[in-house]
Amino acid sequence: MPVTGSADFGADDYAAALNASNAQARPLSLHLRLPLRHDGDVRVDRGKGMDPFEVDLARLDREMVLVRRCLAPGRRLEALHWSGSLPPWLSLSRMSELVDRLASRFPFDPGRQRDFTVELDPRATDILTLRHLEALGFNRLKLIVRLPAAGHLDTLTRLQSRIEPLLDETVRMGWHSLNLVLVVPTPTPAQETVAPLAALLTMTPPRISLRTEHHWQEGESALPPALLARVDERLVEAGYRALGRGSYARQGAALEDALAQARRERARDRLGLGTGAVSRLPEAVACNACAPRDYAAALDAGRLATASGHWRHIGHLGAGAT
């Protein structure tokens, strides 16, 4: 659900909520939203002789330091979620660098309850990238797929040929889950969605989610009710069960895993890093600036990039309370 809280909620409030979260000291779930900038901004930094990756990493590191400062030292990271699809300039060695930086600021929990999810575009991902991400600790994969129109058989076949090897690899290597996130252009007649969906179902992915073009990064589907009903019907018929609006898991081990992961995630404090990232703490929900320029300006000025949010309990007086 999008955070539509008050713009009065700012960086100090978020810092106060982070401090307050130490009382329960729940495990941490870090959601990193990439990329941190628009493509055009890369040229700006390059023009100034700066490596855009280094600039982004320095900003992200500053954000991590500011967040970490508010958290008790013993709090560990149980879940990591890289969302927004990895930018093409994020090479394998830079992915390693990013994970190392995260691990140095937020010690990873060594236990078996680890849920490390990465979102990838199957058109830009190969098996070697997947194996590298596995070596970095990732064990859950989301493939973001723009659903082609029913008539575009070639596109669908090409997509399937990209998805299938990745799906096989996750099964072979024992990744805990694969979620096929289908981005549906709207408005689209129900049949235009259900026909290609049926073709993708032949690959029997453990999880499927359907999102609309403008809301694909959010947790819940914004599909029109009539379309959602058709999708529900088709997926239930294929042996899937709904986990929430537009999210499904295959009955059996995949469903049990999805429910167990959701239970674990509810018991964690969610920290959002990056542009538009959402943090969910026992006391408050906070959202970072969505515009890369605002996000960068806040961090360059040495403060958290919180742009909006709200306290979860009526009567909370916020950071300024005495």
Give 48 or 172: the residue with its C-beta nearer to another protein: 172
Give 135 or 297: the residue with its C-beta nearer to another protein: 135
Measured between alpha carbons, how far is residue 228 from residues 51, 58, 152, 165, 212 in Å? 44, 42, 22, 29, 11
State which H helix or E strand residue 60 sits in.
helix 52-70
| Interacting residue with another protein among 13, 78, 119, 134 (CB under 8 A) | 134
Give 99 or 182: the residue with its C-beta nearer to another protein: 99
Q: What angle do CA 82, 43, 39 make, to 5 degrees?
A: 35
Give 14 or 175: the residue with its C-beta nearer to another protein: 175
Of 204, 194, 122, nearest to 158 by C-alpha is 122
Other C-beta atoms closer than 10 Å to the C-beta of 254 total 22
Q: For the segment 162-191, give every residue that binds another protein (CB under 8 A).
A: 172-176
Of 140, 108, 120, nearest to 257 by C-alpha is 140
CB 72 within 8 A of CB 107: no
CB 173 within 8 A of CB 214: no
Q: For the segment 103-132, give every residue that binds another protein (CB under 8 A).
A: 112, 127-129, 131-132
Minimum CB separation from another protein for residue 121, in Å? 18
| Interacting residue with another protein among 60, 67, 136, 228 (CB under 8 A) | 136
Measured between alpha carbons, how far is residue 155 from residues 23, 147, 168, 189 in Å? 52, 9, 20, 19
Give 51 or 126: the residue with its C-beta nearer to another protein: 126
Minimum CB separation from another protein for residue 107, in Å? 14
For position 101 contacting another protein by CB under 8 A, the verdict is no
Distance from C-alpha of 295 to C-alpha of 317, rounded to nearest angstrom: 26
Q: What angle do CA 236, 195, 240 make, to 5 degrees?
A: 15
Minimum CB separation from another protein for residue 314, in Å? 44
Minimum CB separation from another protein for residue 176, in Å? 7
Distance from C-alpha of 29 to C-alpha of 111, rounded to nearest angstrom: 14
Give 136 or 145: the residue with its C-beta nearer to another protein: 136
Tokens of 227: 């379309």
Minimum CB separation from another protein for residue 134, in Å? 6
Query: Who's near 183: CB < 8 A, 6+ residues apart?
Result: 144, 145, 146, 147, 211, 212, 213, 216
| Interacting residue with another protein among 70, 92, 149, 199 (CB under 8 A) | 92
Minimum CB separation from another protein for residue 88, in Å? 16
| Interacting residue with another protein among 139, 221, 279, 288 (CB under 8 A) | 139
Give 49 or 111: the residue with its C-beta nearer to another protein: 111
Longest Cα pair distance anywhere in the chain, in angstroms?
64
Q: For the segment 72-91, give every residue that binds another protein (CB under 8 A).
A: 91
For position 135 contacting another protein by CB under 8 A, the verdict is yes
Residue in the structure block whose two tokens are 């970095």: 136
> Considering CB under 8 A, how many residues would be counted as binding another protein?
19
For position 93 contacting another protein by CB under 8 A, the verdict is yes
By CB under 8 A, name the binding residues for another protein. 91-93, 96, 112, 127-129, 131-132, 134-136, 139, 172-176
